[in-house]
Copies of this chain bind each other. A is one copy, B any other.
């Protein structure tokens, strides 16, 4: 049985994060010590590892809640549900990437054209582009 600080160090998260996840229903401590300390067993540690890995591939805590619900009772859930969550997250991620790539392209065009010199910004091409009706954005 591990105390919260031990789990926190193992998984490189804060104790606050662990308590927060508990409030969010993601990970309950296995038992409490007589003094009220949270005590985690190996399966709790494994569950926390699952959470951390799911975060590392881009799932939100809300997604992870759903994944855990399935994982805890795999037999009554299907591959289809899991894949659907994954594809949904993939689509979201790709959309966000597309948006950011547009930003990236606009910003690099703006940056390329500006001389970046120490003289006054009176004729700065970046400001001009943002002012003009036909900006390159």
Contact = CB atoms under 8 A, between A and B. Distances in A.
Interface of A: 46, 49-50, 53-54, 56-58, 67, 70-71, 74-84, 86-87, 89-90, 93-94, 96-97, 100-104, 106-108, 110-111, 114-122, 124, 126-127, 130-131, 133, 135, 137
Most buried by B among A56, A67, A83, A122: A83
Copies of the chain in the assembly? 2
Given A50-B130, A130-B54, A80 B118 contact: yes
Given A53-B130, A101-B97, A108 B90 contact: yes
A131 B70 CA distance: 13
Nearest to A83: B116
